[in-house]
Amino acid sequence: MTDAIRRHDPLVKGFASDNYAGVHPEILQAIALANEGHQTAYGDDVYTRALQDVFRRHFGPTAEAWPMFNGTGANVVALRAMTAPWEAVVCAESAHIHTDEGGAPERSAGLKLLTVATPDGKLTPELIDTQAWGFGDEHRAQPKVVSITQTTELGTLYTPEEIRAICDHAHQLGMLVHLDGARATNAAAALDVPLRAFTTDAGVDVLSFGGTKAGLMFGEAVVVLNPDAVRGLRYLRKTSMQLASKMRFVSVQFEALLAGDLWLRNARNANAMARLLADAVRDVPGVEVPRPVQANAVFAILPREVTERLQKRFRFYTWNEATGEVRWMTAFDTTEADVNAFAAAVAEEIRSCM
């Protein structure tokens, strides 16, 4: 029995973000399983030790997983471990590390981000070259890491071959590749490939692997695929305030996600619901779906008045105030009924504004 009171309506779901969703029941079960009794704190527990094998099954025998609290922290720790104080990170202008981390890479890691404008959130070797220059020039922050996001902040996907081309190019330049995989599971499900196909096998050096959006209560992992790419990760995790004392509860969640096919079931559902939503609204007069729907994000352009009315009924974000573009995200727990209700509301609000 608990004295806590349920203060929300569990039937209400929105399309704001996949981290508005709750925790998958199998993850909650795993947390309960790891509860009771004492375990050594700070990661020297049986769940964290077992987790290494789970990650290695997905990412290969040299992979090393470092559980963290959140995605911003995972990115900051990974990038700190990959760079020296005079080095810089090349990323897309739309990258989460640039737009949505409150300047944490700059403030906490003291990193220079060299940003590149992209049409679709994706870097290419040619786009990387617009910032990867000035090697050996002490007046320029030295480009060391290319950071890409899979799936991107614009809902697009890199193919494994595109990532391979980026990694080959970066490595030829003496640079390393970091992949922000907050939605790596959605990418694998959408591409219908194993997680290692666009990470380990494509030449990525270090990965921030997302758990929260995949159904965890909280938790992300820095996965080191190339041990030569990082220095001092153990110490940097602590000084970046990402070392969980009760780490067994982060680790057991990842085990529940990755030991079987929960990650894939969750990602497939989120992706399928995004496709369903896009198909349901695409032909509604007044709605434009301007970007390809490749995983679990749908972008749409709507009359502003319609957006305002809809936002009183469902949570979602306006992506671009200037163009009226909005973003709808689906999650592991989005159902067909949720999508149908939302699509019907879109059509209804459009009609009432005509």
Ligand X SMILES: Cc1ncc(COP(=O)(O)O)c(C=O)c1O
Applying CB under 6 A, the residues found at the interface with ligand X are: 70-72, 96, 149, 153, 180, 182, 212
Minimum CB separation of residue 96 from ligand X in Å reads 4
Please, which residue, 98 or 309, has the CB nearer to ligand X? Answer: 98
Q: Between the CA of residue 351 and those of 252, 313, 318, 321, 348, what are the distances in Å?
A: 48, 16, 20, 22, 5
CB 305 within 8 A of CB 353: yes
**In 3-state terms, what secondary structure has residue 9?**
coil
Task: Give the C-alpha separation, 67 to 258, whole Å.
Answer: 14
Minimum CB separation of residue 28 from ligand X in Å reads 19
Minimum CB separation of residue 78 from ligand X in Å reads 11
Do β-strands 87-92 and 112-116 pair in parallel, antiparallel, or remain unpaired?
parallel
Task: Give the C-alpha separation, 137 to 139, whole Å.
Answer: 5
Please, which residue, 149 or 156, has the CB nearer to ligand X? Answer: 149
Please, which residue, 19 or 39, has the CB nearer to ligand X? Answer: 19
CB 223 within 8 A of CB 207: yes
Reported in sequence order, the residue ranges of the chain that DSSP labels E, i.e. its strands, are 64-68, 87-92, 112-116, 142-149, 176-181, 206-210, 220-224, 297-301, 317-320, 325-329
Please, which residue, 153 or 333, has the CB nearer to ligand X? Answer: 153
Please, which residue, 177 or 350, has the CB nearer to ligand X? Answer: 177
Query: How much helix, strand and coil, in percent to the nearest 5, is found in the chain?
Result: 40, 15, 45
Please, which residue, 178 or 309, has the CB nearer to ligand X? Answer: 178
Minimum CB separation of residue 153 from ligand X in Å reads 6
CB 329 within 8 A of CB 297: yes
Minimum CB separation of residue 213 from ligand X in Å reads 7
CB 116 within 8 A of CB 173: no
Minimum CB separation of residue 137 from ligand X in Å reads 31
